Amino acid sequence: MNLISIRSSAAVAAVLLAAAGPLAAQEFTPQNPECIAPANAGGGWDFTCRQVGKTMQDPDLVPGTVQVTNMAGGGGGVAYAEVVNKRNDSNDSFVAASSATTTRLAQGAYPGNTMDQVRWLGSVGADYGVIAVAKDSEINTLPELMDKIKADPQSVSIGGGSAVGGWDHLKALMVADKAGIEDLRQIKYVAFDGGGEAVTQLLGGSLQAFTGDTSEAKGFVDSGDIKVLAVLAPERLEGDFSAFPTAREQGLDVVGANWRGFYGPGGMSDEAYDYWTKTFEDVAASDEWKQIMLQSGLAPFDLSGDEFRQFVADNISEIQTISREIGLVQ
């Protein structure tokens, strides 16, 4: 091949590459897709990773198997720090997030970390809060639980899968506030690394009540181990949770929706970012995921990319306001 031919071939290749520019952004393929659940098995973050990972695999939205890595600690802070400090340039990893994540960020509970250090990929649903007791508890309604706390605050320990001041804790405080309990610092909240651990302690008698979300309560509802006193939704949910009253029905106007979504490392490439945001959009639109939402009491809530990032920023601002009102932050 002569010099002219080489130059001609190079020119043709350059034209083809330029023409393929927009397409090249879609050519990223994860090699070892991994979802990090920032809690132990059995909680809402673990549920989100495993069910979304399964949905990605069933219709072949991603190649191979989505590995789930449990990384508990600090109400999600351990996983956040790991991604920011050690996996900043990973294109294959994404992390389950929720209102618990934005709550901790709003309250400065991830030391030295801010929302701008990661890339917010997308949300796939909203999980309404529940307040529950063990199946053999003498308490049958939410007002009865609140009356018991009013009579003797030290007699009721409420456990949840978020840290003190986290989303599970906030839900219990909002209910107590509506019930007329003036000193919210009297509420005994015990933090666990995941809702599964909290329910285990509830069944063992160490706790008198549980604050969590429909998805993490679902298995314990099916087994008959817990009794749901209230769902923190605007109105009764459809499906398996339709039998349970809302807090509003019982005279306590509290709605607590926990969104479910994902973030990726801040140094993730634009190609990987585009790939994962599109993949989460496909998950939210799939029949498989819609069936999981119906079975788990999840409501539709699908945002992606810049729209999701703006939602996260607004959510953090809202939670900061709530936290100041109830004295959790200055």
Statement to judge: residues 77 and 101 lie in one domain: yes
CATH number for position 204: 3.40.190.10
Statement to judge: residues 53 and 118 lie in one domain: yes
Residue pair 100/166 in contact (Cβ under 8 Å)? The answer is: yes
d(CA 128, CA 151): 28
Q: Is the pLDDT of residue 220 over 70?
A: yes
Statement to judge: residues 108 and 185 lie in one domain: no
Statement to judge: residues 246 and 282 lie in one domain: no
164-172: average pLDDT: 90
> Biggest alpha carbon distance in the chain?
94
- Dihedral of alpha carbons 176, 177, 181, 187, sign: positive
| Residue 319 lies inside a defined structural domain of this protein | yes
- Banded model confidence at residue 73, pLDDT cuts 50, 70, 90: very high
CB 86: neighbour CB atoms within 10 A? 10
Helices 142-151 & 167-178 angle (0-180, nearest 10): 80
pLDDT at 26: 53
Statement to judge: residues 318 and 239 lie in one domain: no
- pTM summary value: 0.74
Exposure string over 126-158, b if 16+ CB within 10 A, otherwise e:
bbbbbbbbbeebebeebbebbebbeeeeeebeb
271-281: average pLDDT: 97
Domain count, the chain: 2
CATH number for position 288: 3.40.190.150
Statement to judge: residues 134 and 188 lie in one domain: yes
Q: Is the pLDDT of residue 50 over 80?
A: yes
Residue pair 160/211 in contact (Cβ under 8 Å)? The answer is: yes
Which of 217, 233, 257 finishes a domain?
A: 257
d(CA 13, CA 19): 10
Residue pair 66/37 in contact (Cβ under 8 Å)? The answer is: no
Q: What is the pLDDT of residues 82-134, one digit of tens each?
A: 999 999 999 999 999 999 899 999 999 999 999 999 999 999 999 899 999 99
Statement to judge: residues 42 and 149 lie in one domain: no
- Tell me which range, 11-20, 110-119, 288-297, is most confidently predicted by mean pLDDT: 110-119
| Residue 29 lies inside a defined structural domain of this protein | no
Comparing 4-8, 209-213, 270-274, the range with the smallest average pLDDT is 4-8
| Residue 169 lies inside a defined structural domain of this protein | yes
260-284: average pLDDT: 97
Statement to judge: residues 296 and 155 lie in one domain: no
Statement to judge: residues 154 and 251 lie in one domain: yes
- Dihedral of alpha carbons 268, 300, 114, 66, sign: negative
| Residue 248 structure tokens | 């509003």
Domain that holds residue 51: 34-126+258-325
153-159: average pLDDT: 96
Residue pair 113/53 in contact (Cβ under 8 Å)? The answer is: no
Q: What is the pLDDT of residues 181-205, one digit of tens each?
A: 988 889 999 999 889 899 999 999 9
d(CA 169, CA 118): 25
| Residue 265 structure tokens | 């490392």
Place of tokens 């932050």: 329
pLDDT at 22: 42
pLDDT at 329: 83
Which of 257, 290, 310 finishes a domain?
A: 257
pLDDT at 9: 41
Which of 257, 273, 299 finishes a domain?
A: 257
Statement to judge: residues 132 and 227 lie in one domain: yes
Statement to judge: residues 82 and 166 lie in one domain: no
Helices 287-296 & 214-223 angle (0-180, nearest 10): 60
| Residue 17 lies inside a defined structural domain of this protein | no
